């Protein structure tokens, strides 16, 4: 098994298509169909990709978006986690956990993010809690074509080493990831 972090600009078309296929399979999207979780427009591409490969095939993926958002108007450097996916036949084998751990180290050591941040449903929150992510109060707002929108599901952060999570309105200052 090989786990690596790749810049989006380093991906070949074949790798990009393979990542899309992993996400489609994991989220139950039929070929050619589109999914739009939570009925929002999401960021179109990640800045970084953590991929888990076995014999050259991508089995699991975690996307990372670099972003400066704000909490109560104060800037916070975020590593945004999204597109956490493992192909169905390999789920529950620790691949996504390994990718998330690699992503956490990369965000802290290479990106120097103050915090990791992700949004999820109540059903997927236990997976992230086991990896050290914590639920935070919002509200969480972000850009949409029609203006600012509020996310009403769960917002979780991975605490940084240098500071405590501030309280107040979280603004992603862009599209959600």
Q: List, as one string, the DSSP characters of 102-167.
A: HHHHHHHHTS--SEEEEEE-TTTHHHHHHTT-EE----EEEEETTEEEEE-SEEEEE--SS-PPPP
The pLDDT tens digits for 4-20 are 999 999 999 999 999 99
* Residue whose tokens read 């990369």: 106
pLDDT at 37: 54
User: What is the token pair recorded at 51?
Assistant: 């991929």
Q: Is the pLDDT at 93 greater than 60, yes or no?
A: yes
pLDDT at 30: 55
CB 156 within 8 A of CB 117: yes
pLDDT at 43: 82
Q: Facing residues of 142 across strands?
A: 149
Going by C-alpha positions, the residue among 135, 133, 172, 169 that lies closest to residue 154 is 135
pLDDT at 32: 47
pLDDT at 112: 93
The pLDDT tens digits for 101-159 are 999 999 999 999 999 999 999 999 999 999 999 999 989 999 999 999 999 889 999 98
CA-CA distance, 5 to 15, in Å (whole number)?
Answer: 13
The burial class, CB within 10 Å (0-12 / 13-18 / 19+), for 152 is exposed
Q: Which domains does the chain have, with CATH numbers?
A: 2-171 (3.40.630.30)
CB 60 within 8 A of CB 99: yes
The pLDDT tens digits for 26-65 are 988 654 444 445 678 888 789 999 999 999 999 999 999 9
- For 26, the enclosing helix (H) or strand (E) is helix 13-26
pLDDT at 39: 77
> What percentage of the chain exceeds 90 in pLDDT?
83
Going by C-alpha positions, the residue among 130, 105, 126, 127 that lies closest to residue 116 is 105
The burial class, CB within 10 Å (0-12 / 13-18 / 19+), for 146 is exposed
State pTM to two decimals: 0.91
Q: List, as one string, the DSSP characters of 42-66.
A: --SS-SEEEEEEETTEEEEEEEEEE
Q: Is the pLDDT at 161 greater than 50, yes or no?
A: yes
């Amino acid at each position: 098994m090989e786990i690596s972090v790749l810049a989006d600009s380093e991906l070949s078309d074949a790798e990009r298509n393979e990542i899309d296929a992993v996400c489609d399979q994991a989220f139950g999207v039929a070929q050619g169909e589109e999914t739009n979780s939570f009925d929002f427009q999401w960021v179109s591409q990640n800045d970084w990709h953590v991929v888990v490969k076995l014999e050259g095939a991508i089995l699991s993926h975690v996307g990372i978006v670099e972003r400066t958002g704000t909490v109560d108007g104060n800037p916070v450097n975020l590593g945004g986690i999204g597109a956490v996916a493992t192909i169905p036949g390999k789920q529950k084998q620790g691949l996504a956990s390994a990718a998330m751990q690699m992503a956490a180290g990369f965000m802290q050591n290479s990106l120097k993010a103050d915090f990791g941040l992700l949004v999820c449903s109540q059903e997927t929150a236990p997976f992230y809690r086991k990896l050290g992510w914590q639920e935070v109060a919002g509200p969480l707002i972000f850009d949409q074509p029609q203006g600012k929108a509020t996310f009403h599901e769960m917002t979780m952060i991975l605490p940084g080493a240098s500071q405590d999570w501030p309280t107040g309105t979280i603004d992603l200052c862009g599209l959600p990831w």
